[in-house]
Chains A and B, each alone.
Chain A
Amino acid sequence: EPEVTQTPSHQVTQMGQEVILRCVPISNHLYFYWYRQILGQKVEFLVSFYNNEISEKSEIFDDQFSVERPDGSNFTLKIRSTKLEDSAMYFCASRPQGPSREQYFGPGTRLTVT
């Protein structure tokens, strides 16, 4: 069964450094998402992406964040200058066109900012 994959599974970085989190959505899916989950807290929406542009973003998704679909298969989340509070599990999700709206989640990347 096709699944969403994410790399790396764990990323450790120093405050102020740039990080890129990578996702490969399911191949025939058209909508892509990033969510994050700070340890012990709820899963929070960051951004949705469709037709090569952002369709919706949350207040968390400020100018330090950007997303890109560079090559038709990967979907990336970049954090330009990481802060301690960016430490979280980051989940990528995708969904196909159609009425059911169910999103398929990847296993996540744990980002630790020191």
Chain B
Amino acid sequence: AQSVTQPDIHITVSEGASLELRCNYSYGATPYLFWYVQSPGQGLQLLLKYFSGDTLVQGIKGFEAEFKRSQSSFNLRKPSVHWSDAAEYFCAVGAGNAGNMLTFGGGTRLMVKP
């Protein structure tokens, strides 16, 4: 069965600082990987995805993520955080079958200090 671990429950960074959110997955085949962001009281917005090709993927809002098969990781990065990036971030892995249920990690809550 697939699983996702986000080791950091909370992270606080200063505005303008760089950010890396960790994600490790367990899946038997090549995974479909996603990062979603959830602002308070809102739904889930897709930041970026990986399913094949270049292992460094670019997303919206200046985010990027790198797929490392050897480490079973898909860490999310941003070079300079803005106060509006404060939210909860979820990593998810999708199964390869047609149904493609997503399995989510527990989330990382990002706080941004002024």
Query: Which of A's residues lie within 8 Å of B, judged by CB?
Result: 4, 31, 33, 35, 41-45, 48, 50, 55-56, 58, 91, 93, 95, 99-108
Question: B99, A48: Cβ atoms under 8 Å?
Answer: yes
A60→B100 CA distance, assembly (Å): 17
Contact partners of B101 in chain A: CB under 8 A: 33, 45, 48, 56, 58
Question: B104, A44: Cβ atoms under 8 Å?
Answer: yes
**Residue of B90, B102, B105, B107 touching A103 (CB-CB under 8 A):** B102
Closest-CB distance, A57 to chain B (whole angstroms): 9
Contact partners of A35 in chain B: CB under 8 A: 102
Is residue B74 within 8 Å, beta carbon to beta carbon, of the partner chain?
Answer: no
For the side of the interface on B, what is the size category?
A: 20 to 34
Chain A binding site: helix, strand, loop or mixed by DSSP? strand
Question: B100, A105: Cβ atoms under 8 Å?
Answer: no
Question: A45, B49: Cβ atoms under 8 Å?
Answer: no
- The answer to whether residues A45 and B105 also contact, given A100-B51, A105-B36, A108-B43 and a CB cut-off of 8 A, is no
Contact partners of A55 in chain B: CB under 8 A: 98-99
Question: B100, A101: Cβ atoms under 8 Å?
Answer: yes
B49 nearest CB neighbor, chain A only: A102
Interface flags for B3-41 (1: CB within 8 Å of A; 0: not) read: 000000000000000000000000000001010100000
Contact partners of B32 in chain A: CB under 8 A: 101
A100→B100 CA distance, assembly (Å): 10
